[in-house]
Chains A and B, each alone.
Chain A
Amino acid sequence: MSSFADESIIADFVAESREHLSTIEPDLLRMEQEGAKVNSEVINRVFRAIHSIKGGAGFFAFEALKKLSHAMEGVLMQVRDGKLKVAAAVMDVVFASLDRLKAMLDDIEASDNVPYAKELASLEAILSGQGVVIGETVKGHEKGTQRDFDLDAEIVRSALRKGMHIFRAIAYLHRDIRDKGFTPLAFLNNALSVGTCLDAFIDIEAIADLEHCLEQDLPVTLLFATVLEPDLAALGLKLPVAQVKALELDALREEVKAKAKPKVEPSPAPEVVPVIVQPEPEPEEDVLAEVLPEEKASREVAKDSGNETLRVRVDLLTNLMNLAGELVLGRNQLVRAITDYHHEIPGLGAILQNVNQVTTEMQEGIMQTRMQPIGTVFSRFPRIIRDMSRQLEKQIEVHIEGAEVELDKSIVEMLVDPLTHIIRNCADHAIESPAERVKVKKDATGTIHLHAFHEGGQINITVHDDGRGINAKKVLAKAVAKGLVTKAQAAEMTEREIVHLVFAPGFSMAEQVSEISGRGVGMDVVRTNVEQLGGHVEVETELGMGTTVRLRLPLTLAIIPSMIVGVSDHRFAIPQVNVVEFVWVKASEVSQRIEQVQGALVLRLRDKLLPLVRLADVLGIQRVFLDPESGEPKVDRRETLADRRTEEDKALQEVAGRGQDRRTDWRSDHNIIVLRVGKNHYGVIVDELYDIEEIVVKPLSGFIQGTKCFSGATILGDGRVIMILDGGGLATAANLHFTDLQVEEKRRAEEEKLNAALKASRRRSVILFEAALGERFAVPQDHVLRLERILKSKIELIGDREYIEYRGEGLPLVRLDQHMQVRPLQAELGELFLVIPKIPGQNSTTRPSGGILISEILDALDVEVELKPVAFSGPGLLGSAVVQEHLTLFLDPVALLKAAGLMGDVA
């Protein structure tokens, strides 16, 4: 490394190079996907990035970095110039080399120790295979001061399109190469690091014969293209400025412009274009002006963006962030301390308001500087998936959505590992092989969808795959086999709990430990890292359809708005992102709203059961209550909030004159904060709700870092140090079983459904009638087709069955007393009624099967009755109930006809 190289300059170079590399990877993937159709600007971006790295590496004398980037540049140049196809094998080498560059940048001082010989050899093999010989089509010669060259026109056009200057440089073998301590190879390599060599030429006519040649200082003419200005190019080539001249390119530019629209493809038989050297170099503006408009525009954009960004060290930002935190604390304390003097000092209110606002804006601004798009993490996955797809012989596509969503830098960095594990799991375990996918009628190409979005003040990241899903049975069997759960525990686990076993330390579904996965640490890392960030992770899966891993994360870890709550004389902060709502339960409503389910307190909230924890109990704080009579705080010895007394108990208590019960006193009202933990909610009962404050999160001391319930500490405006509660940890410490409640909720829902169904079954629309006098019957209206009035005289007896002529046909009649123990119809009645049953499956035009003879139709009404069995039995007798204060027998008329043998032709 050069002795003058300042460490900070090297650090800048490394940071810049890393940025370059991060942009290269997606571009390389695009090159591979789009092949020859890829936009030339994509290749140019990659080329420029590698070129910049090489330049810096050369300047700081990082040899390995320089050599490797140089070779990469050579390959990319050939791709750019259309001499090399973007084959997968070529890209493999380029990607592998890229990884080496990354490794070198990771420890720049030891970059020369990173092994890269294999990659370099591969790159050089590509180069030599395609031929790095430049200007093979040259067939011109120098003529006096005006030298003519015949160049590969396409190469020149390509250089011009990229906004390069084209120079002619003369290097004398002795004074410019040997005397400066270079070997010809070193000189040429250096020249290639400055630009693209278009041609090299030695005037063979000028060479003396063998006898006198050694006394001669032969000139070598190089034609090369570079983005450098003439003076810098001379400096880069280590040649006197006078020996480096810009070429007259007007004719070529015109041609390039003319041909710019139809894309110029590399021609198998390159044409040649004459180029003339002019004594004076062209002004740079002219050169730029002649460059293609889009190239110029991109340069201008680059210039503009250069003015708008500034590289700042992260530690500086972190320090600023800490100071902003202290400022916020100071502001809070200041506001608290001088609030009482508002009226005494004129204008104080306005000053405070101003300080308050400026502090908030500054803190937000500083936080903004640390925000990074999640895309910086997401962007690495297409490459990982590309490599894994090849390794696993699978076809996998990655779709990214919401890459622009921003998170604090520290969170983004901590997400790298968890997301990488998830993605690798998706590719390795979830996505099936193409053959397997086709077999189950899926597209041969599997998809992994990464999506980041804001929701409820948090960042949600979902990773969805359309793979085989998680087989809960297999997970459970594996977990039992590994001793992660006992058989007894396994028997009680819900499917969701089973699936979440994938997060257990040491759990792995892989039969063998492979390069990719199988060690059983991946998903554990996911959960641990995400929880360390104050986030939450959960999995949803559908067998055969796919799996979604959902991460919920806070936007930032440093300054967060929080709810300050109190228990006894302690105060705690609850991050607002975890707070769903506040619920105030009056003491008098406790018995209706709070109950116990399997020994746990629950609040009935909008038809859902919300598990409750008492913060004091979880943290081991002595509970107190305000005595309704004395108003003094007293120790609360009640084990449960749920009021299990019966009304009689309460009445007895009142009679006994025990005074006002604190259970109904307003001072015993309950403040419940509903917290969100992943998809689950639970309520925390606190004594007091104070204010929402912006708190500065201070890390916990090592002594209490293992405490589940706290995620940090903070200092309040009044100088009090309080703990920040961790919603997830609190639920764990309280041993909350959300699934038990879900089961209970489900049971209750089913019970309610059943009750509703039962109620519905009791509700009937019936037709009330009498057969014999005083004997009442009811038939469901939907079982009746028609009711008809008939004259008894019209009834005819054929055999032992009665008939009546009905719509031109004989309708068989049924008397109830012939089938059940009821009285016969009164003989004196001249007019009777017929109940013609509706047979299921028959329409109104179908000939009726028969009619039931009755004496009187009483009513048609809706009744809600519970049928009771009757003492005697009979066909179609459903039961009895009291309707309109009369015992009524409920009949199924269809069953009755069937019993009478009148349904022979009905299925």
Chain B
Amino acid sequence: MAAAKSPMKTQKADGTVRLNPNGDLVASTVETLRDGMLKALDAAKVAVVLDLSSSKQIDSLGITLVLGLFKSCQKKELAFSIEGANADLLRVFKLFNLTKFFPIAEATRE
């Protein structure tokens, strides 16, 4: 229930918006996340950081969402990057060759 209420944490600082989805980027969550992202995007002036440290999985719609977010950032001339991707997510992004479009940082381990 908590996730439904707050599907994504948003932090804003110095024109950078940090989006931290509270779960996986899958079919059941993408719609809500997209709405949150659209709202947050208005506040971004410099960069958007998608923090995936709370996400374990991503499906086709999740990838489409990430790419849509990137495309919107591109249009608004905002820098876009991904942080906190776990190994599986990183592997998908790398295999789809997304690393050449935007920086993707791996989740740091203890």
Q: Interface on A for B, CB 8 Å cutoff?
A: 124, 128, 132-136, 138, 173-174, 177-178, 183-185, 188, 197, 199-202, 204, 207-214, 216, 218, 220
Contacts and interface: CB of A to CB of B under 8 A. Distances in A.
18 contacts: A124-B87, A134-B97, A178-B59, A183-B57, A184-B96, A197-B95, A199-B97, A202-B67, A204-B67, A209-B71, A210-B34, A210-B72, A211-B68, A212-B68, A213-B65, A213-B68, A213-B71, A214-B31
B64 A177 contact: no
B88 interface: yes
Interface string B70-82: 1110110000000
A188 B95 contact: yes
Contacts of A188: 91-92, 95-96
Given A200-B97, A204-B101, A183 B59 contact: yes
A200 B67 contact: no
B58 A208 contact: no
Contacts, number: 105
Contacts of A199: 97
B46 interface: no
B41 interface: yes
B68 A173 contact: no
A642 B74 CA distance: 112
Contact of A210 (B41, B61, B95, B101): B41
Contacts of B85: none
B108 to A, nearest CB: 14
A173 B64 contact: yes
B69 interface: yes
Main SS of the interface on chain A?
mixed
Candidate in A136, A201, A207, A212 with the most chain B CB atoms within 10 angstroms: A207
A201 B97 contact: yes
B99 A133 contact: yes
Nearest to B68: A213
B47 interface: no
A25 B44 CA distance: 57
A587 B102 CA distance: 105
Determine chain B's interface SS by DSSP, over half rule: helix
A200 B68 contact: no
A214 B97 contact: no
A210 B68 contact: yes
Contacts of A197: 95
Nearest to A137: B100
A178 B27 contact: yes
A213 B62 CA distance: 10
B57 to A, nearest CB: 7
Contact of B58 (A132, A184, A218, A220): A184
A173 B34 CA distance: 18
A225 B81 CA distance: 31
Contacts of B96: 184, 188, 200, 202, 220
Contacts of A202: 67, 96-98
A210 B101 CA distance: 16
A210 B67 CA distance: 8
Nearest to B31: A214
Given A138-B97, A199-B97, A214 B30 contact: yes
Given A132-B94, A133-B94, A184-B92, A214 B72 contact: no
A214 B57 CA distance: 17
7 cross-chain pairs, A with B, having the tightest CB-CB distances, nearest first: A213-B68, A173-B60, A178-B60, A210-B72, A210-B68, A209-B72, A188-B95
A213 B100 contact: no
B13 interface: no
Q: Which of A133, A208, A210, A216 lies at the interface centre, i.e. has the most chain B CB atoms within 10 A of its CB?
A: A210
A201 B75 CA distance: 20
A200 B95 contact: yes
B109 to A, nearest CB: 12
Contact of B64 (A128, A135, A213): A213
B38 interface: yes
B49 interface: no
A85 B58 CA distance: 33
A197 B91 CA distance: 13
**Residue of B27, B59, B87 most packed against chain A (CB within 10 A):** B59
A177 B61 CA distance: 10
A173 B68 CA distance: 13
B17 interface: no
Contacts of B58: 183-185
Contacts of A210: 34, 37-38, 41, 65, 68-69, 71-72
B58 to A, nearest CB: 7
Contacts of A183: 57-60
Nearest to B89: A185
B63 A173 contact: yes
Given A173-B63, A178-B27, A200-B96, A208 B101 contact: no
Contacts of A134: 95, 97
Nearest to B76: A209
A178 B31 CA distance: 16
B64 A185 contact: no
Interface string B18-56: 000000000100110010011001000000000000000
A185 B55 CA distance: 14
B59 to A, nearest CB: 5
B63 A184 contact: yes
Nearest to B69: A210
A209 B68 contact: yes
Contacts of B87: 124, 128
Given A184-B60, A209-B75, A216-B64, 5 more contacts: A133-B94, A178-B27, A184-B96, A185-B58, A214-B34
Nearest to A133: B94
Contacts of B67: 202, 204, 207, 213, 218
Nearest to A187: B60
A270 B70 CA distance: 29
Given A133-B94, A208-B71, A209-B71, A214 B63 contact: no
A213 B61 CA distance: 9
Contact of B61 (A132, A212, A214): A214
Contacts of B38: 210-211
- Among B60, B61, B98, residue most surrounded by chain A Cβ atoms (within 10 Å): B60
Nearest to A174: B60
A134 B71 CA distance: 23
A185 B34 contact: no
Contact of B92 (A136, A185, A201, A204): A185
Contacts of A136: 99-100
Contacts of A208: 68, 71
A92 B92 CA distance: 28
A5 to B, nearest CB: 29
Contacts of B94: 132-133
A248 B58 CA distance: 34
A662 B97 CA distance: 102
A159 to B, nearest CB: 18
A126 to B, nearest CB: 14
Given A185-B91, A185-B92, A214-B31, A177 B69 contact: no
B68 A207 contact: yes
Nearest to A218: B64
